[in-house]
Amino acid sequence: MDPTQNPPSPDSWWKNGIVYQIYPRSFQDSDGDGIGDLRGIRQRLDYLVALGVDAVWISPIYPSPMADFGYDISDYCAFDARFGTLADFDELVRGAHALGLKVILDFVPNHTSDQHPWFMQSRSSRQDPKRDWYIWRDPAPDGGPPNNCLSNFGGPAWTLDAATGQYYLHSFLREQPDLDWRNPDVRAAVYEALRFWLRRGVDGFRIDVLYHLVKDALFRDNPANPAFVPGGDPSHSLLPLYTADLPEVQDIVREMRAVVDAFSNAQGERVLIGELYLPLARLMAYYGLDSNGVLQGVQLPFNFQLIGAQWQADVIHRLVHDYEAALPPGAAPNWVLGNHDKPRIASRVGPLRARLAAMLLLTLRGTPTLYYGDEIGMTDVSIPPDEVQDPFEKNEPGKGLGRDPQRTPMQWSTGAHAGFSQGKPWLRLADDWATHNVDLQQADAASMLALYRRLIALRRAEPALHAGAWEPVDAGADVVAYARSFAQRRLVVLLNFAEAPRDVDGSVVGAKADVLASTRPERAGLQGGLLTLQALEGVVLACANE
Ligand code: NOJ
Ligand code: MG
């Protein structure tokens, strides 16, 4: 994969490659039940290879009552029949590996389903040996919850179990009780589940809400958030001082890293990707830099800054600069534009800016993660109230917090149900599926898909893009500009965020430059040597060696 290294180093796939997130319910259904599945993913591996990605991350497919669509797991070492069998998965992994694709599973250690046998035992009696696998507390003196902690999905984070007279903690739904990570038996059991999958050949894990794993030993109240705007996400009314990013989480991160490292070999390292919504300085702590300069944390702490950023040149320039500056020595950067929890990029910034965003994502230094469907410019789909599926929307209706809009079925073709399923999809398709789909875009050189393929091919072909250095370039207001270089090769990326053309001083690229890519299909080259960017145009230029 990396032409500069022969044979490739074991870490090159996750450092230099591209990760593609599949939301399995919505990617491809193979059996007509309207729910995407493992065989469906297998049918689409060729598409992923043609797109040019290196690894797929599959959102949870374990047995689950689906209160939170798989993020409520009732068995860590099996699959939900709706998605397929272990044999289907083994075949998927074999097929993916044969095509050079890595497979990353989603893993949810903070909580299980309330239907997990561990929790059913735990709640069965105060004396049960698994009682202390979860977080149980006596009621407050007034009979209410033990402290003020709030669920991320609305309401208190505590639910009373009437039969045993205690409350249990759930950072998300009441159907998702939190495990007690202070208990060594819990750690051992969950690490054993990780090993189960590592033995089956998975190449890594995306770890759900990694920063939430440990809670305050004294169960103190979280303080009020002075910046909270009433009407917003109610869980943000408190600062998560005693419920997130506690120092003890770092011990667990190191332990998990040791578990996966034990399975790394010459063919490849196993990777840990951490889901972390944290301020920059705290995010960096999850690389786990120790006093010997060794990185012992997760290899890729997810960098979500582009997901929440205001889409303005100065804002984007500053956040890239600050992120690069904050990285510990040797740490591998990464970038994310969208996921199953956040509005889609094409809806956040509009279709033309989404093309600029694609170029940004695929030319920055660091592993890009693509969210399925963004490569064809899929947009958020408004879901009528009687079709809502997401529990977050059901708990907090009408606040724009629901996540169904970004989880609609992949638009493959003009065939029945967009080629997603033979049956009625579990969630409605976007209205535009007959005109916006993979088949049509494949045949259209001006399409979003064609742009993604060109940019991914360029990133793969150019060591400067997948493995090179990054350095900011000053190209004037409204233009985000940087250079990527490797050995003697220097590329300059110019992204015009303005809705009008912008002239860029030719000195940023030197005497002569070739256009390797543009977000606007109509550019032929550099007219007359002048660097005039069209409105909302991004270009990748190769500087001639002087
Ligand atoms: C983060 C996941 O990305 C989200 O989809 C899920 O609902 C919560 N964690 C709870 O597991
Ligand atoms: Mg199915």
Residue whose CA lies nearest to ligand 1 atom number 11: 71
Q: Whose CA is nearest to atom 5 of ligand 1?
A: 341
Ligand 1 pocket, 341 CB below 6 A?
yes
Helices H, strands E: what count in the chain? 16, 18
Q: Which ligand 1 atom minimizes the distance to the CA of 108?
A: 11
DSSP 482-497: EEEEETTEEEEEEEE-
Tell how far the Cα of 64 is from the centroid of ligand 1, in angstroms.
Answer: 14
pLDDT of residue 529: 62
For residue 286, pLDDT beyond 50 = yes
Q: What's the CA-to-centroid distance between 208 and ligand 1, angstroms?
A: 6
The atom of ligand 1 lying closest to the CA of 68 is 7
Looking at the CA of residue 171, tell me the nearest atom of ligand 1. 10
How many angstroms is it from 81 CA to the middle of ligand 2? 9
What gap in Å lies between CA 477 and CA 484, rounded to an integer? 20
In ligand 1, the atom with minimum distance to the C-alpha of 111 is: 11
State in Å: Cα 517 to ligand 1 middle.
Answer: 36
pLDDT at residue 175 tops 60: yes
Q: Do 277 and 19 contact (CB within 8 A), yes or no?
A: no
List the catalytic residue out of 72, 88, 203, 275: 275
Distance, CA 12 to ligand 2 centroid (Å)?
Answer: 34
Taking the CA of residue 72 as reference, the ligand 1 atom at the shortest distance is: 11
What pLDDT shows up at residue 223? 98
Nearest residue (CA) to ligand 1, atom 4: 341
d(CA 509, CA 511): 7
> Using 50, 70 and 90 to split pLDDT, how confident is the model at 513?
confident
Cα of 209 to ligand 1 centre, how many Å?
Answer: 7
pLDDT over 90 (residue 426):
yes
Mean of pLDDT values over 89-106: 98
What ligand has the least distance to the C-alpha of 336? 1
276 lines ligand 1 (CB under 6 A): no
The residue contributing the CA closest to ligand 1 atom 2 is 208
Token digits of residue 398: 């009408």
Active-site residue, from 54, 72, 208, 375? 208
Note the pLDDT of residue 536.
96
CA distance 395 to 225: 21
CB-facing half-sphere around the CA of 145: CA atoms within 13 A: 17
Structure tokens at 338: 């969208």
Give residue 287's pLDDT. 98
28-69 pLDDT, tens per residue? Answer: 999 999 999 999 999 999 999 999 999 999 999 999 999 999
Name the average pLDDT for the chain. 96
Q: Is 208 in the pocket of ligand 1 (CB under 6 A)?
A: yes
pLDDT at 344: 98
Q: What is the average per-residue pLDDT within 9-15?
A: 93
Return the pLDDT at 542.
Answer: 94
- Which CA distances in Å does 495 have to 305, 384, 469, 500, 538? 18, 37, 18, 12, 4
Answer whether residue 10 shows pLDDT above 70.
yes
Percent of the chain with pLDDT over 90: 92
- Kindly state the tokens that stand for 192: 């054993």
Q: 208 an active-site residue?
A: yes
Give the model's pLDDT for residue 79: 97
pLDDT of residue 512: 80
Q: What is the pLDDT of residue 2?
A: 47
Q: In this predicted structure, what is the pLDDT of residue 524?
A: 65
Most confident by average pLDDT, 158-172, 502-516, 530-544: 158-172
Mean pLDDT over 401-417 rounds to 97
Question: Which ligand neighbours the alpha carbon of 68 most closely?
Answer: 1
The Cα 242–Cα 543 span in angstroms is: 51
Q: What is the pLDDT of residue 7?
A: 65
Region 261-274: mean pLDDT is 94
* Res. 266 pLDDT band, cuts 50 70 90: confident
Q: What pLDDT was estimated at residue 509?
A: 84
- Ligand 1: residue of 61, 71, 277 to mutate (most ligand atoms within 8 A of CB) is 71
Report pLDDT digits (tens) over 322-371.
999 999 999 999 999 999 999 999 999 999 999 999 999 999 999 999 99
Better-predicted residue by pLDDT, 300 or 266: 300
275 belongs to the catalytic site: yes
Cα 176 to middle of ligand 1, angstroms? 10
pLDDT value of position 254 = 98
Instruction: Report the nearest-CA residue for atom 6 of ligand 1.
Output: 71
How high is the pLDDT of residue 507? 85
For residue 3, pLDDT beyond 60:
no
The single-letter DSSP state of residue 462 is: -
